[in-house]
Amino acid sequence: MTDLSVKSWKKQRNEEESLNSQEGLKLGKNNAKKPLELARTRLIVAGFIFTACFLVLGTRLLDLSLIGTDTESVTSRNYTAAEMTLARRDIVDRNNIVLATNLPTDSLFVEPKEVLEPEKSLAKIKTVLPRININSLLSVINSGGSFHWIARNLTPEQVWQINNLGLPGFKFIKEEKRVYPHGSLFAHALGFAGVDNRGLTGIEASLDNRLTGVANVNAEPLKTSLDVRVQHALTLELSEAMASFKAKGASGLVIDVHTGELIAMASLPSFDLNLYKESSANERFNRATLGVYELGSVFKAFNTALALDSGLVKIEDSYDATKPLKVSRYFIRDDHPENRWLTVPEIFIHSSNIGSAQIAMDIGSERQRKFLSQLGMLEPIKLEIPESGRPLSPSKWRDINTMTVAYGHGIAVTPLHAINGFAAMVNGGIKRQPTLLYQDEIHNRNISGKRVIGADTSLTMRKLMYRAVTEGTGSNAQVEGYLVGGKTGTAEKAKAGGYERKAVISTFIAAFPIENPLYAVLVSLDEPRGNKHTHNYAGAGWTAAPATGRIISKIGPLLGVPPSTANIAFPAEQKITRPIKNIIRTEFRRSESATF
Amino acid sequence: MIRPVALVWIGLAAVVAVSLFLVKYKVQDLDEQLAKLEAKKITTQESIHVLEAEWTYLNKPDRLESLANKYLELSPTEAKQLIVYDPRITLSHDNLGDE
């Protein structure tokens, strides 16, 4: 209506105007009337524009407020939902079971200016928190100030009780506390974070940057390669072995030989991560990755593998082990003397130091040093924890060093070094970087490594390790269901100017199922004492090997490792059956061969 | 003198004012509701988080082991209880089919 009237009016006006101008031109009068007309025109135009604008705005307003179209969500502010935040991410195991988490707690502080009756108040608080020191707190309150901690991370019950006391000046602040539900189980792998949520040891320290930073509760947790069940089985067997052999300490590792993932890592004695303040230095010491030890005969695996891989020593070669080997003023003796010529497999199986030393001399010092360096035995391993031991190796690689290194003396490495090198011996010859972080299924296939020995040498080594368990020193590691291959190592502990005969480190490293190894297990006992079940022997074959066997029989089914059965694992023409205990073992010894 | 056009405008303005007023209050109300829900959500999240930790604590392997020993007649799986799928074993219906 308005538009129409304006238009018609405008039209009329235009006509008038043109008429007027014509008239003005013609007649030269009515000139005084012109500015007034102009003003009127402008007013009308302006009015028209404003009307149009208001119409648009009005329509839009009605549209938004009354009619309400779905354009609303587009124009609304970008809304982010509030989430519970955590100062530190969770750590989970490979099956997403929580290993470390942050829980909200309340901490009690005092504002001295607001306290009415300091002495009475503190006495009341002491009934709830018996640990507080009244005298020191009293002096703090009397000296003024605005803030002082009384107790951190209280339980909900304590908070409730203190609130019930109704004391002015005593207030709570929300805090977060790092909690380790598994207590001592992952003490050395996880490490702990202090009261200010800063990692101090273990994964907590080295991956502090990835763990800190305010994250909401749904943030991706840090996924480790560890497995709670395997860790439990390992820790349990280690602590039982430690108790029955009165060992000073023990360490154990389980590694996936194809990915380098550590499935379990234990060091005993251990401590409760939640009570880390009460732990001793000995308990905090990580024997699996920080402690370096001469591990003894397990090095024969590396020595034999190098010898066979280099082609300088043939598997049929034999060496004189009839009497101890004299090198300058030292004697190299055998712990299990056979006093005869031994073939290369026999040297490995019966763990002959004399034979190994001679093999090493045939290979040569330089080649040995280079090989061990390739295996990473001479440098600290970079794991996702700061506790990493630097191996001790001869500074000058003389002949005597070459000989002793062949059977694991004169070189000290961490158990982690040993199992990682061992994994390379059995997995087809690829050395990989060990890790504590979960490796994705897809990425597993591409985990790069460095070839250290040929695949055929690795197969030979698996056969030798299998024979070391069925015929040799590791016979106590045999288990029902899986073929196990491994190597014992009993090393006398070094003392000033020599070795202690009675104090030994007994180590056993095994891989299973040995026909196609998936996992390797290391068990190392520090100064075990023989008992009557072991006829007072403290050697690895009597102490560490049976524990390893028990661990394998427990974790094999847990990890879903298919049992070793002759029919399926091997083609019919290469038939092999697992020797059942001792009866078949003697038979096996006679044939002196393992067929895979 | 009030023209009908002006009346219309006044009416419209009144409607707009009232609707704005209503919308504003509705938004305020919704904001309050949202804040309440968010607070509740965070409390619930906190509870879930704490309960998850407790659940893990209650499922500690050593605790489960002792409980299983006490109440269950089950024992850990042994290797002999596992079997492997062997492609050479053919299922009976494979032999019957395609005749």
Confidence band, pLDDT 50/70/90 cuts, at residue A571:
very low
By CA distance, what is B43's nearest residue in A?
A84
How many domains, in total, are found in chain B? 1
Q: Does B7 touch chain A (CB under 8 A)?
A: no
The pLDDT mean for chain A works out to 82
Does the N-terminal peptide bond of residue A557 adopt cis geometry, omega within 30 degrees of 0? no
Q: Does A228 touch chain B (CB under 8 A)?
A: yes
* pLDDT for A54: 92
Q: Does B99 touch chain A (CB under 8 A)?
A: no
State whether A562 and B49 contact (CB < 8 Å).
no
State whether B19 and A84 contact (CB < 8 Å).
no
Q: Does A556 touch chain B (CB under 8 A)?
A: yes
By CA distance, what is B37's nearest residue in A?
A82
Q: Flag whether pLDDT at A423 surpasses 60.
A: yes
B37 belongs to a structural domain: yes
State whether A101 and B49 contact (CB < 8 Å).
yes
Q: Flag whether pLDDT at B97 surpasses 80.
A: no
**A232-591 fold:** Beta-lactamase (3.40.710)
Residues in A touching B52 (Cβ below 8 Å): 98, 101
Nearest to A228 among B23, B46, B61 (CB): B61
Distance (Å) from the alpha carbon of A29 to chain B's nearest alpha carbon:
36
Confidence band, pLDDT 50/70/90 cuts, at residue A595:
very low
| Strands A170-179 and A148-154, bridge-based pairing | unpaired
Nearest to B79 among A83, A228, A480 (CB): A480
Q: Give the lowest-confidence range in A281-290, A324-333, A382-391, B21-30.
A: A324-333
Q: Flag whether pLDDT at A58 surpasses 70.
A: yes
Q: Flag whether pLDDT at A107 surpasses 50.
A: yes
Q: Which residues contact B43 (CB under 8 A, 6 or more apart)?
A: none
Q: Does A25 touch chain B (CB under 8 A)?
A: no
Confidence band, pLDDT 50/70/90 cuts, at residue A445:
low
B65 belongs to a structural domain: yes
Q: Where are the domains of chain A?
A: 2-67, 85-223, 232-591
**Chain A window 69-128: which residues touch B at a Cβ cutoff of 8 Å?**
81-84, 86, 97-98, 101, 103-104
In order, the DSSP letters of B14-69 are HHHHHHHHHHHHHHHHHHHHHHHHHHHHHHHHHHHHHHHHHHHHHT-HHHHHHHHH
Q: Flag whether pLDDT at A72 surpasses 60.
A: no
Q: Give the lowest-confidence range in A54-58, A218-222, A565-569, B46-50.
A: A565-569
Instruction: Output A535 or A342, whichever has higher pLDDT.
Output: A342
B9, B36, B78, B80: best to mutate for the A interface, most A CBs within 10 A: B78
The CA-atom distances, in angstroms, between A479 and each of A229, A251, A529, A562 are 19, 21, 24, 14
* pLDDT for A532: 82
Which of A407-416, A582-591, B72-81 is predicted most confidently?
A407-416
Out of A297, A393, A524, A564, the active site residue is A297
Q: What is the DSSP secondary structure assignment for residue A273, as one 8-state letter?
A: G
Q: Which residues contact A107 (CB under 8 A, 6 or more apart)?
A: A149, A151, A152, A153, A154, A172, A173, A175
Nearest CA-CA partner of A566 in A552, A553, A578: A578
Confidence band, pLDDT 50/70/90 cuts, at residue A570:
very low
Predicted confidence (pLDDT) per residue in A211-260, tens digit: 887 677 777 888 999 999 999 999 999 999 999 999 999 999 999 998 88
Q: In chain A, count H helices and then E strands.
A: 22, 18
Residues in B touching A236 (Cβ below 8 Å): 62
State whether A179 and B59 contact (CB < 8 Å).
no
Segment A347-366 mean pLDDT: 90
Confidence band, pLDDT 50/70/90 cuts, at residue A471:
confident
By CA distance, what is B3's nearest residue in A?
A2
CA distance B68 to A435: 33
| Strands A91-92 and A222-223, bridge-based pairing | parallel
B78 belongs to a structural domain: no
* pLDDT for A237: 94
Predicted confidence (pLDDT) per residue in B21-80, tens digit: 999 999 999 999 999 999 999 889 888 888 988 899 999 999 999 999 999 988 888 888
By CA distance, what is B5's nearest residue in A?
A2
Residue A414, amino acid = T
Residue A215, token pair as written in the block: 């994250």
What number of CA atoms fall less than 13 Å from residue B58's CA on the CB side? 6
Q: Do A254 and A264 contact (CB within 8 A), yes or no? A: yes
CA distance A433 to A431: 7
* pLDDT for B19: 93
Dihedral (C-alpha) A462, A467, A472, A473: value to the nearest 10 degrees? 30
Predicted confidence (pLDDT) per residue in A516-527, tens digit: 899 999 999 999
Q: Flag whether pLDDT at A577 surpasses 60.
A: no
Q: Do A497 and A466 contact (CB within 8 A), yes or no? A: no
By CA distance, what is B41's nearest residue in A?
A83
Residues in A touching B21 (Cβ below 8 Å): none
Confidence band, pLDDT 50/70/90 cuts, at residue A8:
low
CA distance A47 to A41: 10
State whether B80 and A481 contact (CB < 8 Å).
yes
Residue A270 main-chain phi, psi, to 5 deg: -125, -175
* pLDDT for B89: 58
CA distance A534 to A512: 24
Confidence band, pLDDT 50/70/90 cuts, at residue A580:
very low
In terms of residue numbers, what domain contains B15?
A: 4-71
State whether B50 and A103 contact (CB < 8 Å).
yes
Q: Do A517 and A466 contact (CB within 8 A), yes or no? A: no
Confidence band, pLDDT 50/70/90 cuts, at residue A586:
very low
Predicted confidence (pLDDT) per residue in A537-560, tens digit: 888 888 999 999 999 999 999 988
Instruction: Output A380 or A21, whichever has higher pLDDT.
Output: A380
Q: Flag whether pLDDT at A589 surpasses 70.
A: no
Segment A155-171 mean pLDDT: 85
Q: Give the lowest-confidence range in A131-140, A300-309, A369-378.
A: A131-140
Q: Give the lowest-confidence range in A132-136, A295-299, B50-54.
A: A132-136
Is A279 assigned a catalytic role? no
Say yes or no: do domains A85-223 and A232-591 share a fold: no
Q: Which residues contact A518 (CB under 8 A, 6 or more apart)?
A: A256, A257, A258, A512, A559, A561
Residues in B touching A91 (Cβ below 8 Å): none
By CA distance, what is A51's nearest residue in B?
B9
Which of A52-56, A395-399, A468-472 is predicted most confidently?
A52-56
Segment A44-49 mean pLDDT: 94
B9 belongs to a structural domain: yes
Segment A292-307 mean pLDDT: 91
Architecture of domain A85-223: Alpha-Beta Complex (3.90)
Residues in A touching B20 (Cβ below 8 Å): 61, 65
Q: Give the lowest-confidence range in A19-33, A164-178, A472-486, B11-25.
A: A19-33
